[in-house]
Structure 1
Amino acid sequence: MAATSHPLASIAAVDVMKVGGTAADAAVAAVAVLGVVEPAMTGIGGDCFCLIAKPNAPVWAYNGSGRAASAATMDRLLAANLPHKIPVTSPHAVTVPGAVEAWEAILKAHGRFGLDKALQYAIRYAEKGFPVAPRVAADWANFAEKLAPNAGSVKHYLINGKAPEVGHVMRQPALAVTLKKIAAGGAKAFYEGEIVADIVATVQAAGGLLAEEDLASHHGDAVEPISTSYRGLDIMQLPPNGQGVTALVLLNILEQLDLKSLDPIGAQRLHLALEAARLAFGVRNMHVADVDHMREPVAALLDKGFAQRLAKLLDPGKRVPLPKSPMPTGDTVYLTVVDRDRMAVSLINSLYSGFGTGICTEKTGVMLHNRGTGFVLEPGHPNTIAPCKQPMHTMMPALAMRDGHCTTSFGVMGADFQPMGHAHVVTNMVDYDMDIQQAIDAPRAFYMDEITEVERGLSEATIAGLQLRGHNVVFRRLPHGGGQGIVIDWDKGNLIGGSDHRKDGCAIGY
């Protein structure tokens, strides 16, 4: 089974498994397709994180995030009169794209195919064209103004200065050629030679600091996953620089509360979840960074006693002053694949904000991400920018395990919202006995500074209850993220897939 945010990617994943590929082969094929057909969200100019569970084997985790330019010092960026956070369209936000190297590493460790086979579906859609799906079209239109100032973006991603409409058959010939070169030469073809020369020339022409040596020296890392137990279910995440620890801190806080007795879409449940999230994000903003620069060990942040102390700060009757949240921005794709041998792949790939920086290479058609906005420009902060340092990263695929077996492979898109989304899905399933589709579909709430943003679908009584507890409630124009999940029923031998109605995707099994 495959669950992705676009039908063409789900089909590609299933097709790969039908011809003997593993879930890893299928996942790489699917994410490469998403980089073509959902270009605002992901692409070869971004980063990739992955978790893989196989029966009778430890969970394998890969951090495919890139690093800052070797010339990127805080003093240099402050001299450029940048604000506290690097702007999303700044060339200084372009860190080394780690996705292609990660895809190759995933295939080498767990696949039967190489990039030559895995990229064929993406190459076909880039070369022959694909119909623009409804949610994709809406996202594209939202970011048309962001693309307009950049010559490469106008050339490859706009039609007569406008975003393509629903159903338009979009072709990306330059990207097709680039993908063919990667298929023929492997990841090395992306990080050395004419592709990287085009990337660096584009970034430097805009005033950025990325150098060819920065990409040539890039490598991702196989890392030890981190986890916490939520009412007996082990939730696995990647360690920092990713924000997966935030979801685990949030679940640790929620475990101290009696959620089961509350209405799953009632004001009290959502109030407690929102307040617990504000605490968890306060922890993230203070501590999470490149793991080599963190002031507190991850184990201390995941300590259940720490969570108990945080939970005591909550007031069940009202919103109280707590650490402010980050601004919820950013766009991502998440997918999961489970094969006949019960290898489960949980993978997320992103340009961060919609179309990343909005900077696209003219010759090779590579849209460049803006993951460098994850840094701060504060002396002494663990997440301040420094040469060859990884930024705090929002991407976070997840696995749920019980007695050493993977029971659910899942993820929720939406940048800063993701930890909240993970906790929402887990508590929906554990505390309220929802199936994976119900858990994904349930209305969501998050916050931006002092505003609580809710999705339509919540009752008037729930909204009034949140307001009574001190929440300044507004309806969110777009939904909170997306999500995919596959449940493995070991007793019945079945796979149960869920795919978020907030996106164009679907779960397909055979």
Structure 2
Amino acid sequence: MRRDFEAPGRSPVFARQAAVATSHPLATSAALEVLQSGGNAVDAAIAAASVQAVVEPQMTGIGGDCFAIVTKPDGQMTGFNGSGASPRALTPELLAERGVEELSPTSPHAVTVPGAIRAWETLLKAHGTRSFDKLFTRAIDYAENGFPVAPRVNRDWEKNVSKLAANPAAASAYLVDGEAPEVGSILKFPRLAETLRAISSGGADAFYAGPVAEDIVKTLKELGGVMTLEDLGACHTTAVSPVMRDYRGHTIAELPPNGQGIVALIILGLLERFDLPNLDPLGPERLHLEMEAARIGYAVRDKFVTDPGYMDACHTSLIGEDYITQLSRLIRLDRRLEQVPGTSLAPQTDTIYLTVVDKDGLSVSFINSIFNEFGSGILAPNSGVLLHNRGAVFKAKPGHANSIAGGKRPMHTIIPAFGLKDGLPWLSFGVMGGHYQACGHAHLISNIVDYGMDVQMAIDMPRMFFDLKTYALEAEKMIPQRAIDGLEALGHTVHRAASPIGGSQAIMIDRHKGLLIAGSDPRKDGHAAGY
């Protein structure tokens, strides 16, 4: 497929030496600056992520979690699980004693140990060439001297005024006269700047011990939380082997649980059994198959996927041919599947995803999140650390795959991914959007592989997802009405989505031409760039 130059859109970025794609222009610039000064892909990714922790506070921050896949030019991949665990004292019994029946998004009990900073340091030690003091320069400057609020950031901010107003420290830091800052207004986060400076000189230990850690623990304790300094001090990043499955001649790599990457592989395995290339990419038949495969995949997720130490099934068995074949028999071409196991998870949230490929062919697929917009809404006032709420996906009661337990990592929605072709690097990609991400990975890969779209066109393509409680489909405004009518004729309930669904970045590696082809989602403020 080729771009229609009379229609709104943008071309992918073509570069020969290095490329970067992020959801914020200041982060893209920071990454390019590092690359052009001799840093590698991992250095550039950390510089970009640190900037986004300042300029996209509704999506990411040092009080969140991180996952990454680093791929060498020969296709050798290493995954990094930088998700933190629940406090050791947090159990179903303790919650029952306190009358807590579910973990609300703004509860102090929804705050798990932030794993991002430990993950950043681990990534740099394993693959980087620069230290925090060199890579945090731009982030510290923006936090200390101010940054302009971008349009999409403002849009998200306006939806969260009441959430921020409920926490005095958050209201003071993030609201201007009780309102969201306007587009183009200049904001400063001096306490966060001090914390970033402390980490830049003292490393991750400056976050997980000392004044910053004490501020986090004190803040949560005052709200009834049970996190301790020992919980923070025990934070570690785990190196993991990606899980891989082929899709029409391309090998797609995802990280194993506690993330939901395995679900993207299930969806792709189901879609591979149908003749998608001969279907209209925006027709009801293709969208029906994608949504049915996703509904089944997410039901599998909610039954099995959690901290691997607590799983009832080996994750590799969930993408085995026999199991995928068994699941595929549930899909009907002529009607919607009526019964899929229900879930009680929250609607989609957001995060930041970025990817970098450097001049030596090192690639990083990188994702960082505070889960819900502005996380828990709880700000540690002295350190300026906004705390994520990843623990909100836990069940407060025992008996579920994702029931709360002391020291347990929650099921994660954020998932970096990577694609190989003939065993060599082909596509570094990821999709933002909370629960949507696994479905989004399958949608993006299908757009490229089944329909021949370039990375930018594949990212731009309209999206659908479903409400995780009612299974009603949610369609972006560019999904044609004829597709909605066709889906409804198959038994689906379809609504127009209230907001854009997620976001995405991707870099394709064309080894034959010696090109990097990068794309960035127009649903966000960012862009791709290269040289």
TM-score band, normalised by the shorter chain?
over 0.9
**Corresponding residue number in structure 2 for 1:443:** 462
Alignment-derived partner of residue 380 in structure 1: 399
For residues 507 and 395 of structure 2, the distance between their equivalents in structure 1, rounded to whole angstroms, comes to 36
Match of 1:134 in 2: 151
Taking the TM superposition and a 5 Å limit, the aligned residue runs for 1:40-59 are 40-56=58-74, 58-59=76-77
CA contact 2:398–2:404 (8 Å) conserved in 1: no
TM-score normalised according to structure 1 size: 0.98
Question: How far off its partner does 1:82 sit?
Answer: 2.4
After TM superposition, give the deviation of residue 406 of structure 1 in Å: 1.1
Gaps of 5+ in 1: none
Deviation at 1:20, TM superposition (A): 0.8
Are the aligned partners of 2:75 and 2:424 in contact in 1 as well (CA < 8 Å)?
no
Give the equivalent residue in structure 2 for 1:403.
422
CA distance in 2 between counterparts of 1:451 and 1:327 reads: 14
SS state at 1:260 partner? helix
What is the rounded CA distance, in whole Å, between the counterparts of 2:398 and 2:174 in structure 1?
Answer: 38
Contact 2:305 2:401 (8 Å CA) reproduced: yes
2-side partners of 1:255 and 1:498: how far apart?
25
CA distance in 1, matches of 2:422, 2:438: 24
Q: 1:259 aligns with which of 269, 276, 283?
A: 276
* Alpha-carbon contact 2:448-2:454 (below 8 Å) kept: yes
Using the TM superposition, give the Cα deviation of residue 151 of structure 1 relative to its aligned residue in structure 2, in angstroms.
1.4
The separation in 2 between residues aligned to 1:502 and 1:382, in whole angstroms, is: 34
**Match of 1:248, as an amino acid?**
L
Q: Which residue of 2 aligns with 1:29?
A: 47
Q: Following TM superposition, by how much is the alpha carbon of 1:57 offset from its aligned partner in structure 2, in angstroms?
A: 5.5
Matched, 1:484 2:505: yes
The partner residue of 1:68 within 61, 66, 86 is 86
In 1, Cα distance between equivalents of 2:149 and 2:277: 42
Residues 286, 430 of structure 1: CA spacing in aligned structure 2 closer, same or farther, 3 A cutoff? Answer: same
Q: Which amino acid aligns with 1:476?
A: A
Match of 1:471 among 486, 489, 492: 492
Alignment match of 2:385 (pick from 350, 358, 366): 366
Alignment partners' CA distance in 2, 1:82 and 1:419: 30
Aligned residue number for residue 307 of structure 2: 290
- Whether the 8 Å contact between 1:278 and 1:324 is mirrored in structure 2 is no
The alignment status of 1:414 with 2:428, answered yes or no, reads no
Q: Are residues 1:203 and 2:220 paired?
A: yes
Secondary structure at the residue paired with 2:506? strand
Whole-Å separation in 2 of the counterparts to 1:297 and 1:323: 20
| CA–CA separation in structure 2 for the residues paired with 1:454 and 1:95 | 33
1:208 aligned counterpart, secondary structure: coil
For the residues of structure 2 that align with 1:233 and 1:377, how far apart are their CA atoms? 40
Q: 1:502 and 2:523 equivalent?
A: yes
Q: Which residue does 1:455 correspond to in 2?
A: 476
CA drift at 1:374: 1.8
Amino acid at match of 2:490: R
Secondary structure of 1:483 counterpart: strand
Q: Deviations over 1:390-411 (max 9, x none)?
A: 0001110000011221100000
CA distance in 2, matches of 1:479, 1:324: 24
User: Which structure 2 residue ranges, 5 or more long, are not aligned?
Assistant: 1-18
Counterpart amino acid of residue 424 in structure 1: H
Q: How does 1:66-465 map to 2 (within 5 A)?
A: 66-83=84-101, 85-320=102-337, 321-325=339-343, 326-448=345-467, 449-465=470-486
Q: Give TM-score scaled by structure 2 length.
A: 0.95
- Name the SS for the 2:507 alignment partner: strand
Classify the secondary structure of the residue corresponding to 1:331: coil
Q: Secondary structure at the match of 1:253?
A: helix
- 1:469-503 Cα offsets, whole Å, 9 max, x none, are 11111111111100000001101111111100100
SS in 1 for 2:428: strand
Residue 354 of structure 1 aligns with an amino acid whose one-letter code is E
CA distance in 2 between partners of 1:450 and 1:8 (Å): 37
Amino acid at match of 1:429: I
Number of corresponding residues = 509
317-326 or 298-307: which moved more? 317-326
User: Is the CA contact (8 Å cut-off) linking 1:278 and 1:323 kept in structure 2?
Assistant: no
1:327 Cα deviation from its structure 2 partner: 3.4
Offset of residue 457 of structure 1: 0.7
Three-state SS of the structure 1 residue aligned to 2:517 is strand
- Does the CA-based 8 Å contact 2:81-2:119 persist in structure 1? yes
CA deviation digits over 1:56-113, x for unaligned, max 9?
Answer: 2520110000000010011111232223x41100000000000000000111111110
- For residues 407 and 390 of structure 1, the distance between their equivalents in structure 2, rounded to whole angstroms, comes to 31
Corresponding letter in the other structure for 1:364:
S
Deviates more, 1:250-259 or 1:54-63: 54-63
Task: Give the distance between the partners of 1:152 and 1:212, measured in 2 at CA.
Answer: 21
Q: Supply the AA of the counterpart residue of 1:3.
A: A
State the distance in 2 between where 1:285 and 1:73 align: 20
Cα shift readout 1:100-149 (whole Å, capped 9, x = no counterpart): 00000111111110111111111011111111000000001111110101
Is the Cα contact below 8 Å between 1:131 and 1:166 reproduced in 2?
A: yes
- Structure 1 distance, partners of 2:474, 2:97, is 36
User: How far does the alpha carbon of each residue in 1:324-358 deviate from its partner, in whole angstroms, 9 at most, with x for none?
Assistant: 35433322000000000111100000000000000
Superposed displacement of residue 240, structure 1? 0.4
What is the letter of the counterpart of residue 58 of structure 1? Answer: Q
**Residue type of the alignment partner of 1:14:** L
Contact kept in structure 1, 2:75 and 2:420, CA below 8 Å: no
1:162, distance to aligned residue in structure 2 (A) = 1.0
Structure 2 CA distance, aligned partners of 1:324 and 1:424?
23
Distance 2:20 2:77 in 1: 19
C-alpha distance in structure 1 between counterparts of 2:100 and 2:445, whole Å: 39
- Give 1:316 shift: 1.1
Provide the C-alpha distance between the structure 2 equivalents of 1:230 and 1:20, rounded to a whole number of angstroms: 36
CA distance in 1, matches of 2:456, 2:414: 21
Letter in 1 for 2:193: A
**Which amino acid in 1 is paired with 2:390?**
R
For 1:440 and 1:327, how far apart are their aligned partners in 2? Answer: 24
Aligned to 2:11: none
**Retained in 1: the 8 A contact 2:260–2:305?**
yes
Judge which range, 313-322 or 124-133, deviates more: 313-322
Task: Letter of the 2:314 partner, please give it.
Answer: P
Spell out, residue by residue over 1:415-446, the C-alpha distance to the aligned partner (whole angstroms, 9 max, x if none). Answer: 10000100000000010111101111111001
SS of 2:279's partner is coil
1:80 and 1:39 map into 2 onto residues whose CA distance is 31
